Amino acid sequence: MDFFLEVLTGGLLAGVMYSLVAIGFVLIYKASGVFNFAQGAMVLFAALTFVSLWEHGIPFWGAFVMTLLSMLALAWGVERVVLRPLVNRPPITLFMATLGLSYVIEGLAQLLWGSQVHGLELGISDEPLEVGGMLVSQFDLFAAGVAGVLVLILSLLFNKTRIGITLRAVADDQLAALAVGIRLERIWMIVWAVAGFVGLVAGLLWGARLGVQFSLSLVVLKALPVLIIGGFTSVGGAIVGGLIIGASEKLAEIYLGPLIGGGIENWFPYVLALLFLLVRPSGIFGERAIERV
């Protein structure tokens, strides 16, 4: 039983890392209905920019702020060059645009900072910690804490500020948002900037775990099942989806692995997501349209 709990806890904590990437998707999807394939590239771009600045001797927070500024510049550029000209186009067009964008961003990152692998040491010990008789990774605990703070900040932003109300209004009804005088271009820029910030946080944590390298942008693929399970429109759903994926892939690896063979971790989340698609296509927390007139 103790062993089960340990695996479960480890899985849940690891899942938080998936949630972090998924949240970036949710933000952009909610506000503009665009499935932003470039989120992974943004994670990479942020991590690579940060680590390169840091290696050049700029202190942690200085590098953090500068990277954040570069994410803002990126958001501004994306809105100007990609989103604005494509306004009112069908979602598939925008999706294809973000697909292209992901290569542009990766290329840009490479052009700026080169393509070698960087180690990123955030100074968090890898020693497992003993909590209530269980061994828990300190790094995972830290990541979970960061994710918790991030979600808290986002929910304050969304629920308590004018910008937040405006963002939710745009997510609900774009025509009505225009009619009350909301400038959609501005909102998109803000949303992409916030998604860039989330990408930066995710990039630092993932980078610290895997090293900062180009495969980092592939974390998008892990976010997909999280989104399918949690729903594309809910930050809370992204968290819960991440936890479910994290926990179930670890449990499957340990308990089903010996029966069907190892490596389950890699495909189990997708099978789980498929099952969810059959049962609950809008995800656990996906907003269903309010069908009242």
Partner 1 sequence: MSAPYILQLNQIEVIYDQVILAVKNVSLAVRQGSIVALLGANGAGKSTTLKAIAGLVRAEIGEVVQGRIYYQGLDITHAAAADLVNQGLVQVLEGRHCFPHLTVEENLYSGAFARKPRAVELNQALERIYHYFPRLLKLRKNQAGYTSGGEQQMVAIGRALMANPKLVLLDEPSMGLAPLMVEEIFQIVHQLNQEEKVSFLLSEQNATVALQYAHYGYIIENGRVAAEGETKVLSVRDDLQSLYLGL
Nearer to partner 1, 183 or 280 (CB): 183
Phi, psi dihedral angles at 134 (to 5 degrees): -110, 150
92 binds partner 1 (CB under 8 A): no
Among 85, 88, 121, 258, binds partner 1 (CB under 8 A): 88
What is the DSSP annotation of 256-275? IHHHH-S-HHHHHHHHHHHH
56 binds partner 1 (CB under 8 A): no
Phi, psi dihedral angles at 115 (to 5 degrees): -120, 10
Nearer to partner 1, 127 or 173 (CB): 173
CA end-to-end span of the chain, whole Å? 51
9 binds partner 1 (CB under 8 A): no
Smallest gap from Cβ 293 to partner 1, in A, equals 6
Nearer to partner 1, 105 or 170 (CB): 170
With contact defined as beta carbons under 8 Å apart, do 236 and 285 qualify? yes
290 binds partner 1 (CB under 8 A): yes
With contact defined as beta carbons under 8 Å apart, do 27 and 271 qualify? no
Nearer to partner 1, 126 or 291 (CB): 291
289 binds partner 1 (CB under 8 A): yes
What is the DSSP annotation of 150-171? HHHHHHHHHHHSHHHHHHHHHH
- Which helix (H) or strand (E) segment holds residue 91: the answer is helix 91-113
With contact defined as beta carbons under 8 Å apart, do 184 and 178 qualify? yes
Smallest gap from Cβ 172 to partner 1, in A, equals 4
Smallest gap from Cβ 183 to partner 1, in A, equals 5
Map residues 230-269 to x or -, x wherever contact with partner 1 holds by CB under 8 A.
----------------------------------------
Strands (E) across the chain are located at 128-131, 134-137
Would you give the distance in Å from CA 263 to the centre of its chain? 24
Length of the chain: 293
Smallest gap from Cβ 84 to partner 1, in A, equals 13
Of residues 160-199, which lie at the interface with partner 1 (CB under 8 A)? 162, 165-166, 168-169, 171-183
Nearer to partner 1, 49 or 166 (CB): 166
Query: CB neighbours of 246 closer than 8 A, spacing ≥ 6?
Result: 11, 12, 13, 14, 15, 16, 17, 18
Would you give the distance in Å from CA 267 to the centre of its chain? 19
**Binding footprint of partner 1, residue count (CB under 8 A):** 24
Smallest gap from Cβ 30 to partner 1, in A, equals 10
Smallest gap from Cβ 206 to partner 1, in A, equals 31
Q: Which amino acid is at 289?
A: A
Smallest gap from Cβ 144 to partner 1, in A, equals 28
Smallest gap from Cβ 100 to partner 1, in A, equals 23
Residue 138 CB neighbour total at 10 angstroms: 13
Residue 163 CB neighbour total at 10 angstroms: 15
Residues of this chain that interact with partner 1 (CB under 8 A) are 88, 162, 165-166, 168-169, 171-183, 287, 289-290, 292-293
